[in-house]
Amino acid sequence: MSEAVPVDPLPLTGERTVPGIPEENYWFRRHEIAYARLLDRCAGRVVLEAGSGEGYGANMIAEVAARVIGLDYDASAVDHVRAAYPRVEMIQGNLAELPFEDASVDVVVNFQVIEHLWDQAQFLRECLRVLRPGGALLISTPNRITFSPGRDTPLNPFHTRELDAAELSELLEQAGFRVELMSGVHHGPELIALDAKWGGSIIDAQIERALAGEPWPAELAADVAAVRTDDFVLRTDDIDASLDLVAVAVKSEDR
């Protein structure tokens, strides 16, 4: 990935993932798959990434987009993106009140963010407002059914409300969008093999070691560090069994 400047990494907080940390690589690649698979929808467009976090995704988008604007509430993240990814126009602001004119962008990207927001419906209405007619919202979020199974409240303390596919579709449609694609992230063959190797779940193996506060076994660390973006697959079938939801929602041409 070009046009990135070496700077100190953002600290891991549990609220965002960052590149370049071997023990974090599984989660980083799992998030990166949404950018990789939907990148063509940003080609030649004016793109707003609402909740851009560390900025690696906005920098990926900058490879193909006409213009990329990043927006984040966290001042340290804003400073980091400005220093590390100079192609990204970075703004500090609130996602509940997007600081942009009506119909001013072609694409809004919101990956692994909506589950952190208190007023998800308000945010989606704001996305619709700033999109031009025919514009698209690209959105991903953990699948509640598999991420926090059997729970009314999220396992992750940074999440306010997690969604399943039906709930995400309903929110998008109520905001005025048409859902063009609803898909899910699944493990591909290599990760399925790692699941079997690590007692049924490579995810649980990582969580167990993290909670124990002990050094990882060398073999587990090597397996996690070797995970690639292409080890994940995006599918429209068996969506309730997916790890994360990835959707494309479109604003009507006549709005």
pLDDT tens digits, one per residue of 129-146: 999 999 999 999 999 888
**Residue 196 forms part of a structural domain:** no
**Mean pLDDT, rounded, for 165-189:** 97
Instruction: For the beta carbon of residue 101, count every other beta carbon within 10 angstroms.
Output: 9
What's the chain's average pLDDT? 91
Q: DSSP labels for 54-103?
A: TSHHHHHHHTT-SEEEEEES-HHHHHHHHHH-TTSEEEE--TTS-SS-TT
The reported pLDDT for the residue numbered 139 is 97
Could you list the residue range(s) of the whole structural domain that residue 113 is in?
A: 22-186+233-251
**Residue 16 forms part of a structural domain:** no
pLDDT over 60 at 123, yes or no: yes
Q: What is the pTM of this model?
A: 0.90
Number of domains in the chain: 1
Sign of CA dihedral 148, 153, 156, 159: positive
Q: How confident is the model at residue 1 (pLDDT cuts 50, 70, 90)?
A: very low
User: What CATH number does the domain containing 158 carry?
Assistant: 3.40.50.150
pLDDT over 90 at 8, yes or no: no
pLDDT over 60 at 12, yes or no: no
Phi, psi of 225 (to 5 degrees): -65, -25
Q: How confident is the model at residue 207 (pLDDT cuts 50, 70, 90)?
A: confident
The reported pLDDT for the residue numbered 16 is 60
**Residue 164 forms part of a structural domain:** yes
Phi, psi of 10 (to 5 degrees): -65, 145
